[in-house]
Structure 1
């Protein structure tokens, strides 16, 4: 087995262990514990799709979808999630070495924590899983699906052209970009720490480094394709094999769904 194949399997095993057991220890209500279990199940399925993406074997979940036992949209969700993470993994392998060099030269007041590109990628995966779980621990958190769709649409418009080239627009569409930033800050701010530092570095480097730019383009394209698919799924109608999504809120450990009427109820 090559090193690349070993890393691929290692990542699959790591995904299956997200979110961490430490986060479960912070869940004090039944609904918070159920939220953690649902996320662990979701990452377990992601692990299967990640592993099968480099295999010639037929994914058993596709067979279940073909037999109308689960909605094919679910399988497509995980395939796009894998494509997005694959693009991020490839991007990290290219951009982490110069990022590490820049950090070490900057004499930061804290140590650079990653010994390899793989270690950085695993940290990003863990941060993303944390960000999905932590809202349920807040005293009050609202997830508006219409605002989420607006955020994805505005973000894509602000950062991507139709030919899938990244554009750092500082003058053009400034109103759209400011609207996107305001919406992101108000409703979907994420504490992604090293991920945000890394992406900021890559945005700057993409202006002069062709290899980083090409892979940044690919990553951002896959990122928005994945999240656009999520936005589309929120509009799907309820069926025997599909549960419709609604906006929701977390209040002191309890989850309230907006339901069809738009008002939150337990």
Structure 2
């Protein structure tokens, strides 16, 4: 099975492709624009140095060589792919701000996909199609894991700033923690992030979107912190510990592989089958 992943939101495509190929013997290719990967999350796949139009055209041509097209966020390409390759299965994968509050606005795009996935449950509302399937964000277990050699100072929390410093400071004070703030504009290379996370006992996972709305879900960094053995303070101030089984890459790709097999077999997920 040959799979083309177009775009690489938060590095999720790289994790899915790597573990899918490892566990199921598929042949995956992830393609992304270098200009949109300042953190180096494309650890598996290719980064292209090109503009938007060239990227889209290259993807349209390249798609002919693959059995399945798995599109991450880049939904505007779907009508063109379906026009060129009407029988080629397309899996569309949303990751958060790309679809939050936009289901009706984007219906003409997602309605043409053979399967629709979303990776965080806070995007679900009354406009979400019943065909959409929850696919938890996988965490790269090759990078993010507890280290027996890691040394951290207790009662210190790390927070990457996402328009919610007030909440981070409030929760740190609530638990008597010293808070270390990091400006996300000072990009931490993805492969260096585990080393940095392991220096701390806590990660404060609070974020607001550009409109000031508090995001009520664990971020990918929050999940990665849990995988490294940290305690995570989430949006409501609660402390959680332990990495959730549903986010283990082998569990995530197992479900996606089953969806791939279904759509290759001609199945298009029906309205009454989910949720």
Q: State if a TM-score over 0.5 links the two structures.
A: no
TM-score (norm 2): 0.28
**Higher-RCO chain (CA-CA 8 Å, sequence separation at least 6):** 1
Q: TM-score, normalised by structure 1?
A: 0.29
Point out the structure with the larger helix share. Answer: 1
